Amino acid sequence: MAEVALSGRQAPGVANPMRVLRIEKVVVNCSVGESGVRLERASKILESLTGQRPSIRKAKKTIKGFGIHKGEPIAVMVTLRHEKAIEFLRRAFEAAKNTLRSESFDTYGNFSFGVKEHLDMPGTRYDPELGMIGFDVVVHVARPGLRVQNRRIKRSKIPVSHRPTKEESIEFVRREFGVNVI
């Protein structure tokens, strides 16, 4: 695509600001599988890692094999946006050894990865009362203008050409965060 300045004239080195990729949100999820003490510990750990109070997620259906009942709290999650999201993401990439698999990216450029132990995060200390947990990180990558699709009044569709692709998102993560995508 041709790079165009805001005035409409061709300008070398100036990218179209509506084509720039950005991190829309980062969702950190820790699924414990049961309510009680383990869920409270996971909640405290996520709060210390993200600086936000996590919300509790309940089971959608009963699974007898796992001992899960519908409506029982089984997971905690936090949604991060803006600077908090980018700061957390940098630390989470370090915990994942700055490596992602290309299968972690979907066709719209979003990606996810897991951290096996929260102690892998830089600056985290072990607390014997809380133990260790792992968590999943889901990252939503978008371009400016996504609000048009999600707003309540005068909602409209986003064209396929404006949505990020898998390749664009991989290049964005490599350039911005220095992550090696295998």
Asked if the model's pLDDT at residue 2 lies above 70, the reply is: no
User: What is the distance between the alpha carbons of residues 55 and 74, in angstroms, rounded to a whole number?
Assistant: 11
Helices assigned H by DSSP within the chain: 37-50, 82-95, 147-150, 166-177
User: What is the distance between the alpha carbons of residues 51 and 143, in angstroms, rounded to a whole number?
Assistant: 26
CB-CB contact of 99 with 182 (8 Å): yes
- Domains belonging to the chain, first-starting first, are 21-181 (3.30.1440.10)
CB-CB contact of 120 with 95 (8 Å): yes
Question: Which tens digit of pLDDT belongs to each residue from 33-87?
Answer: 888 899 999 999 999 999 999 999 999 999 898 888 999 999 999 999 999 999 9
Q: Which of 5-14, 60-69, 135-144 has the highest mean pLDDT?
A: 135-144
- The reported pTM is 0.86
Asked if the model's pLDDT at residue 108 lies above 70, the reply is: yes
